[in-house]
């Protein structure tokens, strides 16, 4: 090895680290996608036709859970609330796993009238 002459590494000598792919799916409508890895605690969402066209999370492959839409239980009284394609107000989309629940909440919308 000749140390008197240092050479820069060639492109083909440097390994490229390609992030792994992850598989995501919806347990309700069956949509699936494969994307490059996301940062920790990041999620994917889609508009699910089986959950009345509400925004629902995609689940990582090999994770078994239930995703359900929760109807609003109280009276709207003129408030604006996210509604599904069936016209009913939904307050949340719940993801139930063995180790706990996650909620994607649809809060009521504030309105203002300028005079």
The pLDDT of residue 87: 87
The pLDDT of residue 102: 92
| Percent composition of the chain: helix, strand, coil (DSSP 3-state, to 5) | 5, 40, 55
Q: List the pLDDT tens digit at each of the 115 positions of the chain.
A: 555 566 666 666 667 777 789 999 999 999 999 999 888 888 899 999 999 999 999 999 999 999 999 998 877 777 778 788 998 888 899 999 989 999 999 887 777 788 7
The pLDDT of residue 59: 93
The pLDDT of residue 11: 64
Largest Cα–Cα distance in the chain? 83
Global confidence as pTM: 0.72
Burial (CB count <10 Å: 0-12, 13-18, 19+), residue 59: buried
End-to-end Cα separation, the chain, in angstroms: 83
């Amino acid at each position: 090895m000749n140390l008197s002459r240092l050479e820069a590494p060639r492109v083909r000598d440097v390994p490229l680290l390609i992030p792994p792919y992850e598989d995501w799916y919806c347990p309700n409508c069956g949509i699936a996608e494969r994307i490059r890895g996301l940062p920790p605690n990041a999620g994917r969402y889609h508009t699910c036709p089986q959950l009345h066209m509400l925004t629902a999370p995609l689940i990582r492959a090999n994770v078994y859970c239930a995703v359900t839409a929760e109807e609003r239980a109280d009276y709207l009284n003129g408030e604006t609330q996210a509604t599904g394609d069936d016209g009913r107000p939904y307050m949340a989309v719940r993801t139930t796993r063995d180790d706990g629940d996650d909620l994607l909440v649809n809060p009521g919308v504030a309105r203002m009238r300028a005079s």
